[in-house]
Each structure stands twice: as C-alpha cells, then as structure tokens.
C-alpha cells in the first residue's frame, strides 16, 4: 500500500493549507496519508474541514466540497517539535529529534510511508532525508530536481539548491538521475540533456562545466547530451534536463520567480490606467489566466530530491493547498514508476 507522509507543520501557511492539500490529495488520488505534526493542532484542522467543507479549485474558480472522512485513510503521527525556517538544519535535526520533518522522514525509513512531502525548511528536509534515508549507492550527493515550464513542454533542472559547490562527477550523476526521472515520470523516451553555461561553444564556461562537458560528450552511459544551454534559451524548450551546480540553479529559480511575479504585476497595473485599458484588461482576462496556469509553480507541486534512498518532495515555502496536493501527486508518481530503483540500477 502506498502511503505518503506529510510534514503538517512545514510551510508559511501551515498547518491549515498543508492539511487541506493533504485531504484534497487523499480524495482526488485515493492515496493514504500520514499527517505528522502536533496531534491536537492537526485534529483541530481536520474538524474544521469536516464542519465547513474543503475549499478546492474548479478551473479558475473555487468551491467548497463536503468531506466524508470515513472513506479516507488518514493517519496522524504526533510530533511535538517544529524546525523553524531560521534554524541551522544540521544542528536542528540533531536537537529536535521529535520534530515533524524528522519523524516524517523516519516514517519513510521505517516503511510505514513510502514518500514524504515537506514545505518547511528546505535545508531541514534535505538534511533529514540524507541522514535518515542515506544516499543511493554510487551517488555522491543528492540534488533537487525542479520542474519548470517552457514554450513547448516542462523541463527538469537540477541541482536547484542542494549543493552550492559541485564537482564534474556530481554534475554527471545529476544528468543520469535527471534522465531516469524524465523517462519514468514524464515519459520522455530519449531525454535531451544540456549544461547551463554562459555560451553555446564547448570551450565556454569555468573548469566545472568544461570538464563536465567532456565527460558527457564521451557518452559512455548512452545519455543524449546536446551541449551547453545559455540562460536566455532555457524557456525555448530545447532540452528536457538542464544540469548545473546548486548555487547557479537556485539563482536561476529565484530569478524566474521574481521576473514572472514582476511581469504579471506590471501587466495588471497597465490594465488599470484608464477606461480603455480596463476594457482591454477585462477582454484579456481569460487569456491571462491561461498563461498564469502554464507558468504557475503550484501546477508542479514540488521538487524531487534525487539521490537518497527514499522519495522526498520539497515544496515551496509559500505552497497553497493546491500546490501541496500536486506535490503529493508527484510523490505518488515517483513511487509508482519506481524511479529510485531505476536510478540505483545504473550503478549496479
């Protein structure tokens, strides 16, 4: 039976939206859930849902639905500690062994759940997963694999922040893990792999990317390497997997978030200048909503931490219930496609 553990206390809007997202996923995906956190708080939130119903998205609108908890498999595991965003991850997981993220990861290690979804401290989720689950054989360091939209189809970028400093061997492993992930979760038959660089030519970039380029060019593992990809070309959709060190990847990710937010705010402001602008804005509203849906991170739910011996999905700290629901979907897909075993098989 596939059960997914949720750090119910993790996230900017936890526990309310985290629990709402978990209940929503339990309904839509028929997946058993293990809510890990302060038991009294979790029960209180579940009671609110039972009384008022669950607010869910329906297209671009929202509605409330009644929840029959007798048809859902939701387990509660009490955790009386919470790791806050500002705490040092390594120290925090050692000091707070009864924290929600540590116990959620422990549930996966003990096989009472088969995946964990966390929207709290990224560092705490990574450290808990690394120490609690261990690395896959042959993997030097795990990487955060984030899914991003393009003009054509979504692509996977890794590392998105787990490792600020990397070796060429680590980037090569990221390419292998990303390729297996793209094949099994997204159904890409022969995923195209690119390296984030400052130019397309083979000789461009620092020693890290140049050495990695040569390793991938040898093609000893049958990887479909297409060369360097400049940041301005990311969204053309010419590659399925983009590899980089975690520092660069995190800068790219946050730049994308900031630019998309700025763009929509600027457009919104322009549509309010005068009567003609308001009329044009009203006419354009359906198209703007469709565009927003295409680039909205909530649609992708969360990023898979590849390289540990268990499924860990790291969600955005600002995740809504919809984002948590989709993160649970990603976890379910990763379990069902057995992506970890297929990554490990490369190194057997």
Domain identity same for 152 and 134:
no
Domain identity same for 334 and 233:
no
Q: Which H/E stretch holds residue 303?
A: strand 302-306
| 288 in a structural domain | no
What are the CA-CA distances from residue 141 to residues 104, 126, 288, 307 (Å)?
21, 11, 40, 7
| 282 in a structural domain | no
Task: State how beta strands 33-37 and 4-7 pair.
Answer: parallel
- Structurally, the chain folds into a number of domains equal to 2
CATH of the domain at 41: 3.40.718.10
Q: What is the pLDDT of residue 32?
A: 94
Residue 138 is classified by DSSP as T
Q: What is the pLDDT of residue 290?
A: 67
Per the CB < 8 A criterion, the answer to whether 325 and 27 are in contact is no
Residue 113 is classified by DSSP as S
Domain identity same for 179 and 135:
no
Domain span holding position 255: 143-270
User: How many percent of the chain have pLDDT more than 70?
Assistant: 94
Q: What is the pLDDT of residue 171?
A: 94
- Tokens representing 314? 């790291």
Domain identity same for 74 and 124:
yes
| 92 in a structural domain | yes
Domain identity same for 134 and 189:
no
Distance in angstroms (rounded) separating the CA atoms of residues 313 and 144: 9
| 276 in a structural domain | no
| 295 in a structural domain | no
Distance in angstroms (rounded) separating the CA atoms of residues 94 and 332: 29
Domain identity same for 186 and 248:
yes
Domain identity same for 11 and 115:
yes
pLDDT in tens, 14-72: 899 999 999 999 999 999 999 999 999 999 999 999 988 888 875 556 778 888 888 99
Domain identity same for 30 and 129:
yes
User: How many percent of the chain have pLDDT more than 90?
Assistant: 39
Domain identity same for 126 and 178:
no
pTM: 0.85
Q: What is the pLDDT of residue 121?
A: 84
Domain identity same for 155 and 257:
yes
């Amino acid at each position: 039976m596939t059960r997914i553990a949720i750090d119910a206390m993790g996230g900017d809007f936890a526990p309310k939206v985290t629990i709402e997202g978990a209940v929503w996923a339990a309904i839509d995906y028929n997946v058993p859930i293990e809510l890990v956190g302060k038991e009294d708080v979790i029960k209180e939130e579940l009671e609110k849902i039972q009384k008022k119903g669950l607010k869910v998205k329906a297209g671009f609108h929202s509605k409330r639905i009644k929840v029959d908890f007798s048809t859902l498999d939701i387990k509660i595991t009490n955790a009386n500690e919470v790791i806050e965003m500002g705490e040092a991850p390594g120290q925090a997981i050692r000091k707070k062994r009864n924290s929600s993220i540590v116990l959620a990861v422990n549930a996966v290690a003990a096989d009472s759940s088969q995946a964990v979804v966390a929207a709290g401290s990224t560092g705490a989720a990574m450290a808990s997963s690394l120490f609690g689950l261990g690395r896959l054989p042959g993997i030097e360091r795990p990487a955060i694999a984030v899914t991003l939209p393009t003009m054509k189809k979504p692509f996977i970028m890794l590392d998105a922040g787990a490792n600020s400093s990397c070796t060429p061997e680590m980037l090569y492993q990221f390419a292998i893990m990303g390729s297996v992930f793209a094949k099994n979760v997204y159904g890409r038959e022969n995923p195209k792999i690119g390296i984030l660089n400052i130019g397309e030519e083979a000789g461009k970039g620092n020693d890290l990317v140049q050495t990695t380029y040569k390793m991938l060019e040898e093609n000893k593992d049958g990887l479909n390497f297409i060369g360097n990809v400049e940041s301005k070309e990311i969204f053309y959709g010419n590659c399925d997997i983009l590899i980089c060190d975690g520092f660069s990847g995190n800068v790219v990710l946050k730049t994308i978030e900031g630019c998309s937010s700025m763009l929509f705010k600027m457009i919104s402001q322009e549509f309010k200048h005068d009567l003609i602008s308001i009329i044009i804005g009203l006419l354009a509203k359906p198209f703007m909503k469709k565009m927003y849906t295409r680039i909205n991170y909530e649609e992708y739910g969360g990023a898979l931490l590849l390289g540990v011996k268990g499924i860990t999905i790291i969600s955005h700290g600002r995740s809504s219930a919809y984002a948590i629901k989709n993160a649970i979907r990603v976890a379910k897909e990763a379990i069902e496609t057995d992506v970890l075993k297929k990554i490990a098989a490369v190194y057997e």
